[in-house]
Structure 1
Amino acid sequence: MRKINIGLTEAERQGVINLLNSDLADSYLLLVKTKKFHWDVVGPQFRQLHELWGEHYEALTENIDSLAERIRQLGGYPVGTLAGFLKITSLKEHSGDIPNATQMVERLVDDHEQIIRNLRKHIDQCSEEFHDEGTTDFLTGLMEGHEKMAWMLRSFVEGESLQADGKQPQLSKSTVGV
């Protein structure tokens, strides 16, 4: 096998590969959860959530391929089994229960936010510890995608009425119990 000479040491590349495999495992579990909720959602928001989650799992599928390809670009091999993903994911699997639509959205928000926190740490590590600015940039793009998906999901459950200018209405004194 030809030695990779891209300006990173073997240790730096392996450190980045480990981070990317962790991100891959999180993304794969989130994909499975999103797909399952896409299938199982019921209620008055069915159509909107079904369509939104369809868009999300398509984006997650692209992210997963990109993560695996980035790992290969660095000379590593992506984790590729469910057992492997479950061993290294930071997300929690909720097997055996089917939550209501709002709980589904809240769980997905929690998962996206966990991934965002992980990506922030990994971005810093890739830059400061492993000197891999290419992966830093790549992970920043993934993080921005998760931030957008989390925002869309949070917006769905926040349910606060807004005025036309986007501000929350002032509560009257009778509403706040004063």
Structure 2
Amino acid sequence: MSTQKAVRQHADEVEGSDALRVDAERAEQIVDALNTDLASTYVLYHQLKKHHWNVEGAEFNDIHVLLGEMAEEAEEFADELAERAQALGGVPVAGTDAISEHAAVDPEDEDVYDIRTSLRNDMAIYGDIIETLRDHVELAENLGDPTTAHLIRENLIEVEEAAHHLEHYLEDDTLVLESATQ
């Protein structure tokens, strides 16, 4: 294991990118937004995985698979956000303290809830992320960074679709019969 300790770039420094023609001042604002989205996406990812692991009941398999796929999509989006922040001369947020500090969403606590409550909590985080992503699309466009705006917009489509799917799972209509003892 290397004992080298030379810091190449501090986490709060944004250099900008000559290659992408984004100066440090604009890049700093965009990287800050990307890090907020990255941190929020990690919070979502971990909550989805928690629910994926703990789901039970008659619709276990369908919801288990759905939550696993949604977590994978969140992980892919997080990677895209981190790579874009780095390309703009920034340092992607990493580590639990930094994620907690930068996230625009709050996870539910460590307890395990019924699946309806869990999905409602997931939908709430998705809704908060949707609002933040919309703001960040506008910010990137206003700062002359159509590539970041496009990246966020493309993922916004997937985030909205995931939230919409959760909404369907939370509807009252179901083929599952309630127990006669309830």
Which of these residues, 103, 106, 112, is aligned with residue 98 of structure 1?
A: 112
TM-score, scaled to structure 1:
0.85
Task: In structure 1, give the amino acid aligned to 2:149.
Answer: T
| Structure 1 position 156 matched with structure 2 position 150 | no
Structure 2 alignment gaps of length 5 or more: 1-7, 9-14, 175-182
| Structure 1 position 146 matched with structure 2 position 159 | yes
| Structure 1 position 133 matched with structure 2 position 149 | no
User: How many residue pairs align between the two structures?
Assistant: 160
Q: What SS is found at the alignment partner of 1:53?
A: helix
Change (3 A) 1:3 1:83: closer
Q: Which has the larger helix fraction? A: 1
**Are the counterparts in 1 of residues 16 and 24 from structure 2 also a CA contact under 8 Å?**
no
Distance in 2 separating the partners of 1:92 and 1:116 = 14
The percentage of aligned residue pairs carrying the same residue is 26
Alpha-carbon RMSD: 1.7
Distance in 1 separating the partners of 2:106 and 2:16 = 38
TM-score, scaled to structure 2:
0.83
Q: Which runs of 4+ in 1 moved over 3 A?
A: none
Q: What SS is found at the alignment partner of 1:158?
A: coil
Task: In structure 1, give the amino acid aligned to 2:69.
Answer: E
Which of these residues, 74, 81, 84, is aligned with residue 60 of structure 1?
A: 74
